């Protein structure tokens, strides 16, 4: 029996490169497509194509294997980063136009391929908790991120608006062309081998880096008052839930995240404890995003019988150890 095949778009990024490894472990033949190879490791993909998915030239060859659709397709490719990238406003045009072009190109070429061959791929699209309305996330202690609260729409960033548009785009192709679509709204995925110092890092990586670079007794900077809340999901659990979703009969959109909500100040406290250092916080001005955000896992629990298992501290321990190791290499 021939190996199952998978295409990972954005396979050089943090989540995408981990998904490539996970699929390889399952015995898939995997093609990864991205502008760049993974930052920190060599890709384990059978075939890694350096390609700009905003272009159309040879797109049909990139998304087909021996002229046919892949069994599973994971669409992670996007122009994105942490708060320091998304909320400045300086990159809004690139964030919106690049990601929209990727999704429009992919869906049109994929639709044509499926109609030509009479075969369908299972397709996963990674949306984001950033689609949720700002008005439901003003209180740090009580954010509302149930899936049905997405409308009336009012995301707090152009990144969120683009993700919401793209959700609707994928769902329209499902309705009109009967494509096999599955959509998740990711809530702050973190772990080893993600950006930690290039301006696109998320809060866990940024805090781990700052603490690792600090002296035994020291002070680190945190944007805002640090009382803004978030939940963070470890990468391995994200992959597990994503594969469960794409292989199910459930379309979504559905949250994939942790419900262990913490303040950013608490995040610093946990990482300080892991490091064994005595770290205090200097609060400074900076881009913040919404005041509170937490995953609501009622729907994914009901539809897929999935929930996270790893504590935030356990995931941060693994992440801190990796980032600290990277920093030691450069000293």
**Which residues have a catalytic role annotated?**
159
What would the two tokens of residue 223 be?
């944007």
Q: CA-CA distance, 84 to 54, in Å (whole number)?
A: 24
Is the CB of residue 200 less than 8 Å from the CB of residue 244?
A: no
Q: What are phi and psi of 278, to 5 degrees?
A: -100, 100
Is the CB of residue 254 less than 8 Å from the CB of residue 300?
A: yes
Residue that has been written with the tokens 């791929």 in this structure = 121
Distance from CA of residue 232 to its chain's centroid? 11
Distance from CA of residue 218 to its chain's centroid? 32
Is the CB of residue 62 less than 8 Å from the CB of residue 48?
A: no
Q: 33-52 burial, b if ≥16 CB within 10 A, otherwise e?
A: bbeebbeeeebbbeebbebe
Element at 95 (helix H, strand E): helix 92-117
Q: 187: helix, coil or strand?
A: coil
DSSP strand E in 129-227: where?
180-186, 189-190, 217-223
How many CA atoms are closer than 13 Å to the CA of 140, on its beta-carbon side? 15
Residues 6+ apart with CB under 8 A from 198: none
181 forms bridges with which residues in the sheet? 123
Enter the DSSP assignment of 45: -
Of 95, 99, 120, 97, the residue nearest 110 (C-alpha): 120
């Amino acid at each position: 029996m021939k190996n199952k095949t998978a295409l990972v778009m954005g396979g050089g990024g943090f989540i995408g490169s981990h998904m490539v490894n996970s699929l390889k472990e399952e015995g898939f033949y995997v093609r990864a497509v991205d502008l760049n190879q993974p930052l920190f490791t060599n890709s384990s993909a059978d075939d890694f194509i350096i390609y700009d998915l905003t272009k159309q030239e040879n797109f049909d060859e990139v998304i087909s294997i021996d002229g046919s659709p892949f069994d599973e397709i994971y669409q992670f490719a996007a122009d994105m980063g942490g708060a320091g990238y998304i909320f400045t406003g300086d990159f809004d045009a690139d964030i919106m136009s690049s990601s929209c072009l990727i999704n429009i190109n992919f869906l049109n070429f994929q639709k044509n391929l499926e109609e030509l061959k009479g075969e369908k791929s299972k397709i996963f699209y990674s949306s984001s908790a950033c689609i949720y309305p700002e008005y439901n996330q003003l209180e740090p202690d009580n954010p509302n991120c149930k899936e049905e609260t997405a409308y009336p729409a009012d995301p707090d960033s152009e990144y969120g608006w683009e993700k919401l548009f793209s959700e609707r785009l994928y769902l329209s192709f499902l309705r009109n062309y009967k494509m096999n679509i599955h959509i998740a709204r990711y809530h702050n995925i973190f772990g080893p081998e993600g950006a930690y110092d290039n301006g696109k890092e998320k809060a866990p990586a940024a805090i781990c880096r700052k603490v690792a670079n600090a002296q035994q007794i020291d002070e680190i900077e945190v944007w805002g008052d640090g009382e803004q809340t978030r939940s963070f999901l470890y990468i391995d659990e994200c992959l597990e839930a994503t594969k469960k979703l794409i292989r199910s009969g459930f379309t979504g959109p559905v949250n994939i995240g942790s419900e262990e909500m913490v303040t950013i100040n608490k995040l610093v406290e946990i990482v300080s404890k892991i490091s064994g250092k005595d770290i205090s916080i200097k609060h400074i001005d900076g881009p913040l995003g919404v005041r509170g955000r937490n995953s609501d896992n009622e729907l994914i629990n009901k539809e897929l019988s999935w929930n996270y298992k790893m504590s935030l501290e356990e995931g941060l321990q693994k992440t801190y150890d990796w980032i600290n190791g990277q920093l030691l290499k450069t000293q």
